[in-house]
Structure 1
């Protein structure tokens, strides 16, 4: 399976990254509405809409050998590569995967960094109850971890959306000499 994936990456003219699949995965991971903000949901929805258009209108010609232009394919692959990179965190706490979308043993129904934050908040609540005192500083720290995780996710989604919009703008006025 690994060899097949490597052969596909090497032989296919366009990288096998599908912006719409990424956007739908992001939306699926945001289904837990108890911690997700409206801003995050609307940004994810906007990413989905732009990704669908980008995938159908920009990627389709690059996959057609009759319409394939090497410079177009190169620019498209750069956008697709960077789209995947926008979901990689530079630093994460121990036990959290750097890639927001994927983690071992496979896809999870939630962002790993968000799951980590929720577990930290739950641990804080249990610890506070067990010690029979309400440590305000500890609770603030736990909720700060949650807010920081949500901020990282929102930043990644916005980055991906800007990149897809940049890709659409890049090819909007692209000369088509096949007319």
Structure 2
């Protein structure tokens, strides 16, 4: 399975990441979280909407050899690569992943860092932890939005 994943990363023109899956995961993690806020839910909804559009309108043509533009593929891969990085945090609590999207417990769909902040209260105050999650979602949303704006313009036209 690892060899197949490495082979896809090396041979597929577009990185095999799904921005929509990431956005839906973010929404699911927030859905029933007692710490979620209206602002977090709104940011997650914007991320989902923009990810849906990026995936359908930009990724589909990039994967079609007849429509593939090398400049767009490169820009798209840069956006996809940066998307996952948006969810990395510095100095996570002991026992938690640096990537906010990764959970330690498959029984809980919450962000592990929010659960830790609420239950353990040893790392950061809840409001600082919420700020980390908000910053990650907003960063991902801005990255997807900038990717959409890149694809609205012609990469060969230097006037944009």
Asked if 1:168 is matched to 2:154, the reply is: no
Cα distance change, pair 17–107 in 1 and its aligned pair in 2 (3 A):
farther
TM-score by length of 2: 0.90
Question: Could you tell me how far 1:115 is from its partner in structure 2?
Answer: 1.5
Match of 1:86 in 2: 86
Match of 2:62 in 1: 62
Distance in 1, matches of 2:37 and 2:119, equals 19
Q: Report if the CA contact (8 A) 2:35-2:114 is conserved.
A: no
Asked if 1:40 is matched to 2:40, the reply is: yes
Distance in 1, matches of 2:82 and 2:107, equals 20
Describe how 1:91-106 pairs up with structure 2 within 5 A: 91-104=91-104
Which consecutive aligned stretches of 4+ in structure 1 deviate over 6 angstroms post-superposition?
none
Aligned residues: 156
Q: Report if the CA contact (8 A) 1:20-1:48 is conserved.
A: yes
TM-score by length of 1: 0.81
Match of 2:75 in 1: 75
Once superposed, what is the RMSD of the aligned Cα atoms?
A: 2.0
Question: Could you tell me how far 1:103 is from its partner in structure 2?
Answer: 3.7
Does the residue aligned with 2:62 lie in a helix, a strand or coil?
helix
Q: Structure 1: state its 5+ residue gaps.
A: 122-140
